[in-house]
Amino acid sequence: ILAVLGTLHFSEIFPLYLIRQDFGRYMSCAVIFADAVAILIFLSGYANGTKMRMSGNLIYDFFMGSVLNPRLPGGVDVKMFAEIRNSWVLLFILTLSCAAEQYRVDGSVSINMWFMILAHFLYVNSCQKGEECIVTTWDIYFEKFGWMLIFWNLAGVPFVYCFQSLFIQTVTPLGTYPWYVWAFLFPFLVTCYAIFDIINAQKNRFRMMRQGVDMKIIRRKTFPQMPWSFIENPRTLVSEDGKLELFADGFYRYARKLHYTVDMCMSLMWGLSCAACNFIPFFYFFFFFSHLTHRQKRDDERCHKKYGKLWEKYTALVPYKFIPYVY
C-alpha cells in the first residue's frame, strides 16, 4: 500500500494532498456508504436466514446487527476486512494526506505531524502484522455486524481519529514544544505501544493455543514481533471441574486492564501532539476514556457471570484494574 501511495504521490498521478483538500467530500461519501452497507447487511440476515440473537426491537437490532460474520464470495469475512483492512489503513492514509498538504503549503512537515504519522503507523502496522490475533477478540467472534460496527469502521475510525492530524495541518502548523518535551513524548509513545502490543498478543495467543490453532499461525514472524508476546506454559487459574480457565500470566499478573491504560495514554499523547489548548484534539481521548472505563465495568460483570468463583479468585490474585499497585 505504501509503495502504491508513494508512486501515485511522487509521480503526481494522484498527490496525497488532494485527499486532504477534499476531506469533507470523502467523509460525506463514507457516511452515506456506511449507512447503505449497514442496511444491506441487516436485510441480508433476513434474506438468507442467518439472523441471530434478535431482540424484536427494530432500532436496537439494526444498531447491533442481524448477522455475525457476513462473507463475500471466496470466504472473505466482511467484518474482519472492515475492521482491519479498511478503518486503520484509511486513517493512516488520511494522516499522510495531511502531512502532504502541510508540506505543499509550508514547505516542510512539522515534528507534531511526524509524531502523528508515527502514532498512526504503529496502530495500523499492529493490526496488519497481528491480524491472526484479531479473530479471538470480542468484536469479531461475538458482536454482530450491525450499524454500530459498520459505521464506526467505515466512517468513524478514519474520519474521527484523524482530528489531530487535521488540527496540526490547519490550526497549529507551526505550534510546537521545546525539544525536551518531544524527547519525552516520542519514547513514551513507543513504550506505551510496545506494552499494548505485548499484552494483546499474550492474551489472544493464549486463546488461540487453547483453541488448537496451528503453532505456525500463533508464532507468525511478521515485523515487529515484541519480546514476551507468547508465553509457552502460562500460569492459569482452572475451575474445579476443569472446564474453565483464566490466563493469569505476563502483564495480566499486574493489572486486569493495563492494555486499556496504555491505550488511553497513547490517545492522550495524540491530543498533546497538537500543542494547543483546545478541546478538539482531545475529543478522542475523552471519548476513549469513557468508552474503555465503561467496557472495563461491562467486562467485569460479564466475566463474573461466566466464571463465577474462578473470577473472584482471579480478582483477589490481581486486584488492580488499570494501574498496578495503584488502582
pLDDT given at position 315: 94
Whole-number Å distance between alpha carbons of 148 and 134:
18
The identity of residue 116, as a single letter, is M
Hey, what's the cell of 274?
497538537
Whole-number Å distance between alpha carbons of 16 and 59:
39
With contact defined as beta carbons under 8 Å apart, do 145 and 154 qualify?
no
- Angle, helices 88-106 vs 111-129, to 10°: value is 160
Query: How confident is the prediction along the chain (327 residues), in pLDDT tens digits per residue?
Result: 889 999 999 999 999 999 999 999 999 999 999 999 999 999 999 999 989 999 999 999 999 999 999 998 888 899 999 998 899 999 999 999 999 999 999 999 999 999 999 999 998 988 888 888 888 888 888 899 999 999 999 999 999 999 999 999 998 877 789 999 999 999 999 999 999 999 999 999 998 888 888 888 888 878 778 888 888 889 999 988 888 899 999 999 999 999 999 999 999 999 999 988 788 899 999 999 999 999 999 999 999 999 999 999 999 999 999 999 999
Q: What are the helix (H) ranges across the chain?
A: 2-10, 17-21, 23-47, 58-64, 78-80, 88-106, 111-129, 131-134, 138-141, 147-151, 157-160, 163-170, 179-210, 215-218, 258-272, 283-307, 309-317
CA-CA distances (angstroms) from residue 259 to 33, 203, 266, 326?
Answer: 32, 10, 11, 15
Whole-number Å distance between alpha carbons of 299 and 292:
10
Nearest to 231 by CA among 196, 193, 192, 199: 199
pLDDT given at position 193: 95
The reported pTM is 0.92
Cis, bond preceding 324 (omega within 30 deg of 0): no
Q: What is the 3-state secondary structure (H, E, C) of 281-324?
A: HHHHHHHHHHHHHHHHHHHHHHHHHHHCHHHHHHHHHCCCCCCC
